[in-house]
Copies of this chain bind each other. A is one copy, B any other.
Amino acid sequence: MDGVTRIERSLETAVAMADAADAPPRLAAAMRHAVFPRGARVRPRLCLAVAAACGEDAPALTDAAAAAIELLHCASLVHDDLPCFDDAAERRGRLSVHRAFGVPLALLAGDALIVLAFQTLAQASEGLGARLPPVLAAVGQGVGVPHGIVAGQSWECEPVAALEAYHRQKTGALFAAAAAAGAASAGAADLAPWRIFGERLGEAYQAADDIRDVVAEPDEMGKPAGRDAALGRPSLALALGIPAAVQRLEELVAVAAQAIPACHGAAELRALVRSEARRLTPRSLSRSAA
C-alpha cells in the first residue's frame, strides 16, 4: 500500500470515531470538512518516510503517528482561520470550517481534532506500550508548549514577535515531530537527529510558503495570496524581498537534505525533499529560473 493510501485510510478511520449514536452529527461533519478532501499531506508523508528509513516494524503505530500529525495540522488550520486570527474565508479551495459551520463549531472541531490525534495513538498502541511514550512525547512536543505550533501561533499575540522563533515553532516544530514520531514508531533509539532533519525541512517549507504568499497565482495556493502583508504577519519574503528569500529557500533545502541521518532509506528521503521543493516553488519563479 502506498503512503498516501495508508494516510487517507488512517485519517478516515480516525475521523469515523466521531460518527456514533448519541454523538452530535454537525461536529463530525465539521471535523470531516477540516480533514477532507486531502491537502498535500506533507507532514504524514514525512512521518512514513522516516519510519521506513528506520526499518519500520510496527506499521499500525506508524500509521497512527502519521494520522495524529496530520490531524493536529488540520486542527491548527481550523483555529488559525478563525476571525480572531486570519479570518480566512477559504482553505484548500473551499469554505473554511467556520464559514461552513460557524465559529463555535469550528472552535470545537479544532479541539476535537487535537484530542483525536491522541486517541488515535492510544488505539494503535495496544501491545506496543513500550513504543508509545516516545511517540506520544514527540507528537506533544510538536504541538504544545514550550516550542510547538500552538506556541508559534501565540507569537502573534506578543507585543514583539521573534521572527526566527515564530517560524521554527509555527511550522518547523510539527515537521520535527513528524520525523521524530516516525522514527520513534519504528523503534529508533536516538530521535535527536531526526528532529533536526524535520526542523530543517520545516524551515524550508515555511520559506517556500512565505514566497508563495507573495508571488504565486491564487490557483496554486488553495487559499488567497497576499495574506501575510494584509495581516502584518512576520514573513521571510516580506522581510528579505523575493530574490534573497528564494536564495535562502535553496540554501534551506540543501541544509535539510544534508541533515538526513545515515540510514538505508536516505536516498528516498532526499528524493522527497527535492520533489517537495520543486512542488512548492511558484510557477512564475520556476519559469524565470529555467
Chain A 129-147 near chain B by CB (<8 Å), digits 1 or 0: 1111100110111011111
Partner of A111, one of B25, B28, B79, B133: B79
Q: Using Cβ atoms and an 8 Å threshold, which residues of chain B touch A141?
A: 119
Assess whether B85 is in contact with A104, with CB atoms less than 8 Å apart: yes
Stretch of A150-158, A213-221, A223-231 that contacts chain B? A150-158
Any B CB within 8 A of the CB of A205:
no
Assess whether B31 is in contact with A145, with CB atoms less than 8 Å apart: yes
Total copies of the chain: 2
Any B CB within 8 A of the CB of A240:
no
Assess whether B125 is in contact with A132, with CB atoms less than 8 Å apart: yes
Assess whether A22 is in contact with B147, with CB atoms less than 8 Å apart: yes
Assess whether A111 is in contact with B110, with CB atoms less than 8 Å apart: yes
Assess whether B84 is in contact with A23, with CB atoms less than 8 Å apart: no
Assess whether A130 is in contact with B133, with CB atoms less than 8 Å apart: no
In angstroms, how far is the closest chain B Cβ from the Cβ of A81?
Answer: 12
Stretch of A13-21, A36-44, A189-197 that contacts chain B? A13-21
Assess whether B26 is in contact with A150, with CB atoms less than 8 Å apart: no
Assess whether B148 is in contact with A115, with CB atoms less than 8 Å apart: yes
- Bound Cα distance from A140 to B112, whole angstroms: 10
In angstroms, how far is the closest chain B Cβ from the Cβ of A215?
Answer: 28
- Bound Cα distance from A75 to B18, whole angstroms: 20
A-side binding surface: helix, strand, loop or mixed?
Answer: helix
Assess whether B158 is in contact with A24, with CB atoms less than 8 Å apart: yes
Any B CB within 8 A of the CB of A108:
yes
Any B CB within 8 A of the CB of A242:
no
In angstroms, how far is the closest chain B Cβ from the Cβ of A116?
Answer: 5
Chain A 111-123 near chain B by CB (<8 Å), digits 1 or 0: 1101110110111
- Bound Cα distance from A145 to B165, whole angstroms: 33
Count chain B CB atoms within 10 A of each CB in A22, A102, A126, A145 and give the residue with the most: A145
User: Which residues of A approach B to under 8 Å, CB–CB?
Assistant: 17-20, 22-28, 31, 75, 79, 82, 84-85, 101-105, 107-108, 110-112, 114-116, 118-119, 121-123, 125-126, 128-133, 136-137, 139-141, 143-148, 150-151, 153-158, 162, 165, 169
Q: List 13 A-B contacts (CB under 8 A).
A: A22-B147, A27-B154, A79-B111, A102-B157, A107-B107, A115-B143, A115-B145, A121-B136, A122-B137, A125-B133, A129-B131, A132-B132, A132-B136
